[in-house]
Structure 1
Amino acid sequence: MVKHTEPDQALIKMPSLRAVKAFVAAAKYQSFTRAAEALCVTQAAISRQIRELEEHLGAALFNRAGRTVELTAAGAIFFDAVQLSFTNISQAADRIRSSENPKQVVTLCCSSAFANFWLGPRLPAFFEAYPEIDINLVVTQNFLVMENGVNPDIIICKIAKTHEGYHSQPLVCDVIYPVCTPQYLEQHPQLRSLTGIRDGALLNLSPFGRSQIAEHVDWGVWFAYQSIDIKTRASDAPHYFNSNDYNLLIQLALAHQGVALGWNYLVEPYLQKGLLVRPVAEQLVHRETRHYLSFNEAKSRDLSCCLLRDWLLEQFASDRPGEFIEANA
């Protein structure tokens, strides 16, 4: 005789986990729109799932007020309970994944320019040397306020003290000079003088979105360091292109569209390959402004984190020994 299992009323009465996840996201961001973006679904889906959850519970969970939502008393009670449960589930899943995956993941945080020009070309060598380590790369310009869930093991930026619990050490100081392609310089020989560069097509790094940077150098600052006022630029000079995306500026320079300011540790490989040249010898050296590597002290015994940190330091020391030694003196 087959023995049937009695219905599990506790499981039957449980609300949909998908609906609960939508509720947690909406409560966390106080917005159905932001909750939808966080979960990669539509706002309509979030609204529908929360409405079904409210019907299941027989209570309103949110007070709708325009584009924002606020938890009701019932919603606050439910959020406290499910948030703790979801945290426990997430941590258990992470432990299982870690035990099943022999690779160790290290989270590295840096700027887009550093990722593209310095780190990217060197990563294949790291992957080959340390196949057991996976890198989770987070690109940002906002180093003081990280996105939720982002807890970097290593941060590389121009700020010595980003967060509590990190040990920072200097890497290099900034050395900044004009760069363009050899073809562009040949077509515009006047660029071999500072006034010629001033009156030429300039690709300028604007300060927008760069409030986390310790200092900002654009063409105005650079020329002022050379005792030249950018405001004396010829009225009939060609374009003065502004962008806060350094990657785009270098791509335009490589496409023969003008002269950009080159940060030495980023553009030196292009000079070595002959893709870019320095039309003049003048440069700006910011000895008091340095780039730092900040290491999460809680990971001081994590072998993978230490290996990536040491590898990064070795790369800086070997590529720019003079600047690195000077910066660490």
Structure 2
Amino acid sequence: MALPPLSALRAFVAVARLGSVVAAAEELHVTHGAVSHQLRSLEEYLGVALLNRKGRRTSLTEEGRIYAYQIRQALDNVSLISDRLRKRGGTQRLRVSVLPSFATHWLVPRLGDWLRHHPDLGLSLDASMAFVDFEPEALDCAIRFGHGDWPDVHARRLMGDSLLLVASPRLFPEGVPSLVRALEAPILQASESWESWLAGVEGGLPPLSPPALEFTDSTQMLEAARQGLGVALTRRSIADALLSRGELVLASERETAHSSAYYLVWPHRSHGSPRLARFLDWLLSQAEDFQRNLPGQAPPASSP
């Protein structure tokens, strides 16, 4: 990058703010001549006159006034970012990649407990649906949903999940409908398999209608369901809070165990980290409380 010398920029901003080369020199603890030299070198670099000089008096040209305003903002921003990073460097912090829907509906509502019990260990959450390449990423671990067979990483199962059908209470004011009645509503589709959820239904069902709305993110799908736009097949983990608050209701009594589970995943460089161990133990305790009520699920074993 072609950048002017930082010392020249600091001298120019000081002169622009204080209105005097002498005052700027005093503030910067340099000589009057040094400030004047920095200003002239900056003007030569830019090819633009920044100051009007009349004897010992100086004033900003129009180009100088605009440039001073922009450079002052840029330097303030650099100072702010650097100070923030410096303070973070002195604080213990765990950097966690997490699925957006899981973060919104399961993890974030539980973080108050984390703050109460671990006030000395900060968390930086990076919401992402992609699996993490830990090499270029500055991440300590990730929470992912799958079968736990990812190569070249460590993985610890946190908890299973279940599949259930939800809808706005406005859609079925009479209560939980029959499965046939529920599937007459518009279908909202994200990532879950309707075929897996419907497998083994006694008596069979008519062909499932094509989705009325499709989503790449489950949070958007649940918002559409909350607005009464249709029925959504989703995981208990991300619908539980909305069900508890009555913003969603069950649209079927059928709830089946999911074939995948949530895992904490971390690279080799994080293995054995005391910070990671604390986070894993806390996740396991939270997962145990949640998983007690899942159909056909056993709570995870405690952390070794």
With normalisation by structure 1, the TM-score equals 0.57
> Paired residue for 1:290, among 253, 257, 261?
261
Larger radius of gyration: 2
Q: Is the 8 A contact 1:105 1:133 kept in 2?
A: yes
Partner residue in 1 for 2:178: 193
Closer/same/farther in 2, CA of residues 185 and 256 from structure 1, 3 Å limit: same
Partner residue in 2 for 1:142: 130
CA distance in 2, matches of 1:311, 1:171: 10
1:120-157, Cα deviation, whole Å (9 max, x unpaired): 211233223323222121222221546x7414322111
Paired residues, number:
222
Partner residue in 1 for 2:232: 260
More helix per residue: 1 or 2? 1
Letter aligned with residue 179 of structure 2:
L
Partner residue in 2 for 1:54: none
> Paired residue for 2:92, among 75, 84, 104?
104
Q: Does 1:314 align with 2:299?
A: no
- Report the aligned-residue RMSD: 3.4
- Runs of 4+ in structure 1 off by over 4 angstroms are 14-18, 227-230, 326-329
1:143-186, Cα deviation, whole Å (9 max, x unpaired): 1546x74143221112414352x321212223101011222211
Q: Does 1:281 align with 2:266?
A: no
Q: Does 1:162 align with 2:144?
A: no
CA distance in 1, matches of 2:280, 2:300: 17
Instruction: Give the gaps of 5 or more residues in structure 1.
Output: 1-13, 19-92, 208-216
CA distance in 1, matches of 2:89, 2:230: 48
Identity %: 20
Q: Is the 8 A contact 1:102 1:132 kept in 2?
A: no
Closer/same/farther in 2, CA of residues 103 and 325 from structure 1, 3 Å limit: farther
Q: Is the 8 A contact 1:154 1:309 kept in 2?
A: no
Q: Is the 8 A contact 1:167 1:295 kept in 2?
A: yes
Closer/same/farther in 2, CA of residues 218 and 154 from structure 1, 3 Å limit: same
Q: CA deviation at 1:223?
A: 3.1
Find the residue that maps to 2:229 and give its secondary structure: coil
Closer/same/farther in 2, CA of residues 134 and 193 from structure 1, 3 Å limit: same
CA distance in 2, matches of 1:201, 1:245: 18
Q: CA deviation at 1:308?
A: 1.8
Q: Is the 8 A contact 1:198 1:230 kept in 2?
A: no
Q: Is the 8 A contact 1:178 1:279 kept in 2?
A: yes
Find the residue that maps to 2:238 and give its secondary structure: helix
Q: CA deviation at 1:16?
A: 4.7
With normalisation by structure 2, the TM-score equals 0.62
Q: Is the 8 A contact 2:96 2:124 kept in 1?
A: yes
Find the residue that maps to 1:315 and give its secondary structure: helix
Closer/same/farther in 2, CA of residues 281 and 302 from structure 1, 3 Å limit: same
Q: Does 1:223 align with 2:223?
A: no
Closer/same/farther in 2, CA of residues 106 and 320 from structure 1, 3 Å limit: same
Q: Is the 8 A contact 1:201 1:259 kept in 2?
A: yes
CA distance in 2, matches of 1:202, 1:17: 59
CA distance in 1, matches of 2:251, 2:270: 45
CA distance in 2, matches of 1:241, 1:256: 12
CA distance in 2, matches of 1:132, 1:139: 22
